[in-house]
Amino acid sequence: MKKYLITLIPVVLLGWQRGPVQERVGVTAPTASSMDEDIKPIPAQYKAEELTTRILSSYHYRKTKLNDSLSVAIFDKYIDAIDHGKLYYLASDLADFEQYKNSFDDYLQKRELDVPFQMYNVFRKRYQERSTYIQTLLKEPKPFDFNQDESMNTDREKAAWAKNSDELNDTWRKYLKSEALDLKLSGKADTAVISTLRDRYKSRDRALGRIRTEQVFQMFMNAYSESLDPHTSYMAPTSADRFKQEMSQSLEGIGALLREEDNYIKIVEVIPGGPAFKGKQLKKEDKIVSVAQGDEGKFVDIVGWFVDDAVKLIKGPKSTVVRLQIISADALPGAAPKEYRLVREKIKLEEQRAKSEIVSINNGNKDYKIGVIDIPLFYRDFEGAQHREKEFSSTTRDVQKLITELQTSNVDGIVIDLRNNGGGSLTEAVSLTGLFINRGPVVQVKESQGEIEVQSDNDPSIAYDGPLAVMVNRFSASASEIFAAAIQDYKRGLIVGEQTYGKGTVQTLIDLNQWVPKEPDQLGQVKLTVAKFYRINGSSTQLKGVMPDLELPTAFKVNEYGEGSQPSALPWDQIPSSRYEVASNINPKIIEQLRDKYKHRLKTDEELKTLVKTLDDFKEARENKIVSLQESKRKAEREEAEKKRAAMKQLGEDNVDGDDEEETDPKAAEAPKDVKKKKDIYLTETGRMLADLIVISKEPSLAGTKKKQ
């Protein structure tokens, strides 16, 4: 078993470029190609289909056979990929497609592509029909009556397919009216509102006109690969080449990974060390609706754009300014986009490294010095380590130094903050665990053939044996989950926060041309799930992630984000436990006492009470997917949404909003970080829990003894 880098391969790595790129103002998507001709597969794609099918059938961890049951899943996923919002196909189209539902497995095995391409070409026809309606509507003198009392359901998940064009036209009229109302309430004049919408939908037309056979084939193959699990995918040659180039390029830009979804450009990941990360302004699942250059540039609407075109606007030379209008991932329906100012820069790797601070926690009329070590990802310079460089970059080495510094300052306990840490090096997750335990297993890795390898810490030394807490949230994933699970299984420290993401799988990247070296055509690449991670107690980290010992209030519903939100996620299961020696720091009786004290604070502490109520109100408001299309009511809805968001912001709830308090001053992001620091209620409460642990652990009746598991 090799060393694994436990990260998700991104669709686009925003701002990774070879050299400086000139600022481009007023850029629009390239001219469209004709949509009159059907898109057809090319010979190389039949070869890629055969090879990808063989690899996925034989080597994917799940070992799922191609049969009618899987065919139905592929069919549904393909339809969803083409028309996720049910805004183009008619019910009659779906009735026609029904005859193919059990045949997708046969198409893959027999190298057939005609039907998937035929289905996509039907979509193109329906798209043109909707486009004609949209442009006709937008040519009317007054297309929308904002005094009319009507509403729209923004959730299309359970919507039925439209029975006819008239029904679809009415749905689109409401969508356009809603978009127009958003623009109107943002201060645009009526003529500017219509002009913006016309340009927006012409951009969508151009984008669809640029769809090539390669993109349709990739969509079809991903319907298959993603039916096996959400982290397995096919990359067509152009996408594969772009990925390889971006992985080798220097890190310069705003530091975010993007993808296209539902006509929006969404943020996949915020890269530690980049401007977006340092400003804490952007987060996963946020949608970028428009982009402006510099402090005075005009905003360019990018709704409906390809991600490649959006990237050309957003990335640029370091020290230049880009402004973004963002719809937050957790924004209430109808909420206005927020504007953020970012200064592009080369991503500083030192910003990705672990940092520490000391916070003072008052608990029980006594002040405690709590050391906090923030780890944004598990990093390791493998090349530097291989060449035995003295100071190669390593999470474990950095954290060990920080622990020494904190101990010199006589801290009473240490918190390891893994919130929003999406993973990284498995080697570092194992060695970091070793700083807190004697020696022993840390994680088990099971390959698709059934072979199990145990990754262990073999260093008997312990860097820190004092009171310890580990903070996690819904976006703590992979290596973060391995570390937190090991600390929990060894009963070495408290795990505090939310249920983690639940990514317990390992992927490898396969170049299809390496399998057929004499093949002249480029066939693309497959990212394949080949193994699963298991805790030392035998439980998988897949799907369930790590459940904290003490759960903090959350803004999210169960499985709203994370592996559990993916229908094709691999299941949770168990394997035999490893043998390991449990520490005496934590036991069920201690957890019970800590939970009682925490529950008491939830009832008596005003900040916590306000936090819980605000989060509950916020979640309830997000459940309502109905927005008014009447101007007066929509305005009231926006004002109410802003009140709820302001309440979140006042509490400093980063998981919900991500906004900086300095947001009103566009240049405040450039100020030194120590000038003004937001209060972190979650960190404060974790510090209190750790202080409680310090007190409780001194009680002789609760002290445990080491035992073998």
- Report d(CA 129, CA 239) in Å as an integer: 30
Q: Please say if the pLDDT value at position 163 is more than 50.
A: yes
- Between residues 171 and 658, the one the model is more confident about: 171
Question: Which residues of the chain are in CATH 2.30.42.10 domains?
Answer: 250-348
Return the SS3 of 691.
helix
pLDDT per position as a tens digit, 434-469: 999 999 999 999 998 999 999 999 999 999 999 999
Q: Beta-carbon neighbour count of residue 163 at 10 Å?
A: 11
Q: Please say if the pLDDT value at position 253 is more than 90.
A: no
Q: Please say if the pLDDT value at position 7 is more than 70.
A: no
Task: Name the packing angle between helices 190-209 and 114-137 (round to 10°).
Answer: 160
Please compute the mean of the pLDDT values over residues 384-401 and round it to a whole number. 83
Instruction: Tell me what the pLDDT averaged over the chain comes to.
Output: 85
Which is catalytic among the residues 93, 417, 489, 692? 489
pLDDT at position 599, please? 97
pTM of the predicted model, to two decimals?
Answer: 0.81
pLDDT at position 256, please? 81
pLDDT band at 527 (very low <50, low <70, confident <90, very high): very high
Closest by CA to 687, choosing from 441, 360, 307, is 360
The residue to which tokens 């929003």 are assigned: 420
pLDDT per position as a tens digit, 53-71: 999 999 999 989 999 999 9
- Residue 503 catalytic? yes
pLDDT at position 20, please? 27
- Between residues 230 and 644, the one the model is more confident about: 230
**Pairing relationship of beta strands 321-327 and 300-301 according to DSSP bridges:** unpaired
Q: Please say if the pLDDT value at position 681 is more than 90.
A: yes
pLDDT per position as a tens digit, 96-154: 999 999 999 999 999 999 999 999 999 999 999 999 999 999 999 899 999 999 999 98
Percent of the chain predicted with pLDDT > 70: 86
**Any residues with CB less than 8 A from the CB of 593 and at least 6 apart, and which?**
692, 696, 702
Q: Burial code of 537-554, b = ≥16 C-beta within 10 A, e = fewer?
A: bebbbbbbbbebbbebbb
The lowest-confidence range among 38-47, 265-274, 346-355, 523-532 is 346-355
The lowest-confidence range among 13-17, 58-62, 410-414, 561-565 is 13-17
pLDDT at position 671, please? 31
pLDDT at position 693, please? 96
Q: Please say if the pLDDT value at position 702 is more than 90.
A: no
pLDDT at position 305, please? 79
Please compute the mean of the pLDDT values over residues 566-580 and round it to a whole number. 95
pLDDT at position 624, please? 84
End-to-end CA distance of the chain: 25
pLDDT at position 397, please? 94
CATH topology of domain 250-348: Pdz3 Domain (2.30.42)
pLDDT per position as a tens digit, 599-612: 999 999 999 999 99
pLDDT per position as a tens digit, 236-250: 998 777 666 554 444
Which is catalytic among the residues 131, 394, 431, 478? 478
- Between residues 709 and 193, the one the model is more confident about: 193
The residue to which tokens 């529950």 are assigned: 599
Question: Which residues of the chain are in CATH 3.90.226.10 domains?
Answer: 351-584
Q: Please say if the pLDDT value at position 319 is more than 80.
A: yes
pLDDT at position 415, please? 98
CATH of domain 351-584: 3.90.226.10
- Report d(CA 645, CA 540) in Å as an integer: 36
Side-chain half-sphere CA neighbours of 494 within 13 A: 32
pLDDT at position 26, please? 30
Q: Please say if the pLDDT value at position 330 is more than 90.
A: no
Which is catalytic among the residues 184, 284, 491, 503? 503
The lowest-confidence range among 103-117, 155-169, 256-270, 643-657 is 643-657
Q: Please say if the pLDDT value at position 4 is more than 50.
A: no
Percent of the chain predicted with pLDDT > 90: 60
